[in-house]
Amino acid sequence: MKKHRNIPIFVPHLGCPNTCVFCNQRKISGHEKADFSSAEGEIEAALATIPQGTDVQIAYFGGSFTGIDREDMIYLLALAKKYIDEGRVQSIRLSTRPDYIDEEILDILSRYGVRSIELGIQSMCDDVLAASGRGHTAAQTERACKLICERGFELVGQMMTGLPCSTLEKDKYTAEKICAMGASGARIYPTVVFRGTELENMMNRGGYKSREMENVIAEGAELVGIFARHGVKIIRIGLQASELLTEGSETVSPYHEATGELIWARYLRNEAESALAGEQTAGKRAVFTVAKGSTSKMVGQKKENLIYLKEKYSLCDIKVRESEALSCDKIEMILEERKKAYAT
């Protein structure tokens, strides 16, 4: 299988007609404004580090790409198309809003070699969308997803957990709908409250309460399970760590730079418990096989998963192995009798 790489070009907040209550796009992206003149240099610099034979996408992230000034949008698409025509890049990826997708837009994207459209769905519940200031409805999202899939684009659904008026059940409903609407990939973003946003004001007025990290982790693991059951690949969980986030100076809600790792670890622990349920485990050794590169997630931070499982199921030992044949959401287990040592 070919390795895949994105070359991210940030177009922060341009084209977005609303200021969602949670949004401070400049702090998230680290960019105060877009500089289109630097895009070509960024692409060239990135290509110099990518091995031959890699599937490369130029990815326009950060704002609502299909809502920016049409001339600017065509300029950026044409720039990326030049690299596609040269054979140095295979396709284009972009992120946008559901209400900025229509047949005309998709015609343009198709002409310029766009393959993947990441849609900022956030929630499929109208009360949550309204309370979050999204400015579109769940019905508009369904229509956009239908158009994207009918035209043969790859659909990635981006959702947020813990938004105003949301609950775990509503977040699970959103995850199920993303799968049902034809997404092949998903991103899960637990809500982070940034300073200077309306969400901070809502929190200060008592109209919003952020979720504690334990809730974020436990609920996130349930959402991972939904996407896993439907075969939808999770591209990312949580915002990318940046200096602003890790310092904590710009956030006023619980945040952990390894949120994604913690959620994956909890998901794998849940899967391990499902495998152990009903088994005679006392005094035995459990051998878990996980995907290549997933050992740290199975073990957990400070070995907390191993400690938890050993204590709860009275296991004498736990071993973790890796297999390239398993996907990151799969786990296999065998139980072995404890080997007794005999003196000779």
- 25 pLDDT exceeds 90? no
Q: What is the pLDDT of residues 135-184, one digit of tens each?
A: 999 999 999 999 999 999 999 999 999 999 999 999 999 999 999 999 99
Report the pLDDT averaged over residues 302-324.
96
- 54 pLDDT exceeds 70? yes
What's residue 343's pLDDT? 43
276 vs 29: which has the higher pLDDT: 276
Angle value at C-alpha 108, between 106 and 109, nearest 5 degrees: 65
Find the helix or strand (DSSP H, E) in which 215 lies.
Answer: helix 213-229
- Residue spans of the domains in the chain: they are 4-189, 279-336
Report the pLDDT averaged over residues 86-100.
95
Q: Per the structure block, which two tokens stand in for 63?
A: 């704002």
Q: Per the structure block, which two tokens stand in for 112?
A: 């310029």
Give percent of the chain with pLDDT exceeding 70.
90
Q: For residue 263, give every residue at least 6 positions away whose Cβ sits within 8 Å of its Cβ, in sequence order, or none.
A: 188, 216, 217, 220, 221, 224, 237, 238
Hey, is 244 helix, strand or coil?
helix
What's residue 239's pLDDT? 85
> Which of 11-15, 114-118, 209-213 is predicted least confidently?
11-15
CB neighbours (10 Å) of residue 305? 21
Angle value at C-alpha 86, between 83 and 91, nearest 5 degrees: 45
- What is the spatial distance between Cα 45 and Cα 7, in angstroms, rounded to a whole number? 10
- 32 pLDDT exceeds 50? no
Please say whether the beta carbons of 60 and 117 come within 8 A: no
Q: Per the structure block, which two tokens stand in for 159?
A: 């959702």
Q: Per the structure block, which two tokens stand in for 244?
A: 């602003």
- What dotted CATH number matches 4-189? 3.20.20.70
What's residue 250's pLDDT? 83
- 68 pLDDT exceeds 90? no
- What is the spatial distance between Cα 333 and Cα 287, in angstroms, rounded to a whole number? 6
What's residue 137's pLDDT? 96
Average pLDDT score, the chain: 91
Report the pLDDT averaged over residues 35-52.
91
Q: What is the pLDDT of residues 171-230, one digit of tens each?
A: 999 999 999 999 999 999 999 999 889 999 999 999 999 999 999 999 999 999 999 999
> Which of 63-77, 125-139, 232-246, 255-269 is predicted least confidently?
232-246
Angle value at C-alpha 139, between 134 and 141, nearest 5 degrees: 60
Report the pLDDT averaged over residues 30-55.
83
